[in-house]
Amino acid sequence: MTDHTAQNSSYYAPARVAVLICYFGLLATMLFGLLNFGPPDLAPALGLWLLVSSGLFLVMPGLVKEAKRSYQWLCFIFLMYFIWYVQAIFATAVGASPAGAAHEWVGLALIVIGFCAAMFAARGKA
C-alpha cells in the first residue's frame, strides 16, 4: 500500500463481530455463573461480577474505537481467563453439579473463539 488510506483486510469485519459476540457472551456467562452459583444475595454477586470482569472492562473503550492494541491486549486478558476457566473445569469435575460444569465449558469455548477472533482482528486491522 503506497497511499495513506489504509484498508482493513476482508476478514477484519467478521473477526470483529466474533470478538464482540464472545466478549459480551463471556460477560453474560460470568454474570450467570455468579448469580446462580455465587453468593445468595444480589449486591455481593454483582460486586463480585464487577471485580471478576474488570479485566474485560479495561479494553472496552479501545474496542469501541476499534483500536488495534485493544485487540492485542484482549488476547492477553483472554489468556488470564482461560487459565481461570480451565482450573474451574478441573475443580468442578471432582463433584459439582452438571449445570456448573456446563457453564464453565461455555465460558471456555467463548474464550478460545474470542482469542482466535481477536488475533484475526488485530492482524486484519490496518
Name the residue ranges covered by the structural domains of the chain: 12-124
Percent of the chain at pLDDT exceeding 90: 59
Residue pLDDT, tens place only, 44-72:
889 999 999 999 999 999 999 999 999 99
pTM of the model: 0.86
**pLDDT at residue 3 tops 80:** no
Q: Which of 26-47 are b and which e, b meaning 16 or more Cβ less than 10 Å from the residue's Cβ?
A: bbebbbebbeeebeeeeeebee
pLDDT category of residue 11 using cuts at 50, 70 and 90? confident
Q: How many CB atoms lie within 10 A of CB 84?
A: 17
- What is the share, in percent, of the chain residues with pLDDT greater than 70? 89
Residue bearing the bigger pLDDT, 110 or 2: 110
